[in-house]
Amino acid sequence: MLTNGGGILEVDRAKVVNRVMFDQNETFEPRLEGKQMILCHTPLKTLAPQFHDKYVLISGYGDLINVAINHGFKKPLLCEELFALMPALSPLNTKLFSESHLEMLSLAALKRFGKDTKAELLNDL
């Protein structure tokens, strides 16, 4: 099944489709499996071997960090986290998000990459 319903793992999307479509009508068999799902981010798995140890900027909705890590990327960074680390990149974000939200995003990135300061992480990028 091909769908743009990304933001979650293929196996989780298959569970949703099975529950919504097939549980109501038992004539649909067999159930879908995660490997039968192609989501908007599925083709990115092929890039993981080439970029697995590099910082990769990701954008979208849903549990993107978990999806990226599950696909083999070891250093995924959300656009919003980068904006929080470098507010000058997107001054509008400082107006859209509270300082506490931006600080939370910064801290999440620092923790994920084992860094103590924004400068330390930015030097590594």
Question: Which of these, 15, 63, 16, lies nearest to 41 by C-alpha position?
Answer: 63
Q: Say which range, 16-20, 81-85, 104-108, has the weakest mean pLDDT.
A: 16-20
Highest mean pLDDT among 11-15, 96-100, 106-110: 106-110
List the Cα angle 86/43/11 in 5-degree steps: 100
Question: Which of these, 32, 56, 29, lies nearest to 45 by C-alpha position?
Answer: 56
Query: For the residues 93-99, what does the mean pLDDT come to?
Result: 79
pLDDT of residue 32: 81
39/4: higher pLDDT:
39
pLDDT of residue 98: 87
Cα 118 from chain centre: 21
Express each pLDDT in 19-77 by its tens digit. Answer: 877 666 666 667 788 888 887 788 888 888 999 899 999 888 888 899 899 899 999 99
Q: Distance between CA atoms of 28 and 49, rounded to whole angstroms? A: 36
103/60: higher pLDDT:
103
Query: Structural domain boundaries of the chain?
Result: 1-40, 44-124
Question: Which of these, 51, 46, 37, lies nearest to 7 by C-alpha position?
Answer: 37
Indicate whether this model's pTM tops 0.85: no
In the predicted model, is pLDDT for residue 1 greater than 60?
Answer: no
